Amino acid sequence: MTTALVTTDPCIGPWVIPSRGQNLIIHAYASAKNIKIDTVIPEPLFSRELSTTRWVLKNKGLSRILLCSYHQLNPEKRSQLIEELEPLEIHFVLEELTGKGTDFLTKVFNEIEIFQNTNSIPIEKLTSYQEMQNTLQMAGDRP
């Protein structure tokens, strides 16, 4: 089984994780799961299309990839990514999701869509911990 660690642009959904940090996170996960990483695929900056990964899959062969987050996938390329990544076992480390196939990837993209359509609380406008607690309670996110 050929396993690749895939790093992408540092802007990953709600996080900014430089490539070096992505490497550390994924290596720690792989070590804990006893997964041997055979290759590292650095994707270009500002890209969430996994073009290099798709090229390697097509021309060199891969059976498993490890990504920090499903936010590294571009929802605008949903159909193409589902079709091309379908044979891979994919691990999304931060979400602790692992799976393979069209059904798995469809569920992942549905979850990405839900996340993107969720309103966020503008924490930069909060002035205290109590104000944050009150805001969360009003939003229904905390008891």
Among residues 135, 140, 116, the alpha carbon closest in space to that of 125 is found at 135
83-141 tens-digit pLDDT: 999 999 999 999 999 999 999 999 999 999 888 777 666 667 778 888 878 877 776 64
Provide the pLDDT for residue 129. Answer: 80
Length of the chain equals 143
- Could you tell me the CATH number of the domain that includes residue 11? 3.40.50.1390
Provide the pLDDT for residue 139. Answer: 66
Question: What's the structural domain count of the chain?
Answer: 1
38-95 tens-digit pLDDT: 999 999 988 888 999 999 999 998 999 999 999 999 999 999 999 999 999 999 999 9
Helix ranges (H only) for the chain are 19-32, 51-59, 78-85, 102-116, 129-139
Provide the pLDDT for residue 142. Answer: 44
Provide the pLDDT for residue 127. Answer: 80
Distance set, CA 38 to CA 12, 54, 96 (Å): 24, 16, 21
What average pLDDT does the segment 21-28 reach? Answer: 98
User: Residue 60: which domain range?
Assistant: 3-139
Provide the pLDDT for residue 143. Answer: 47
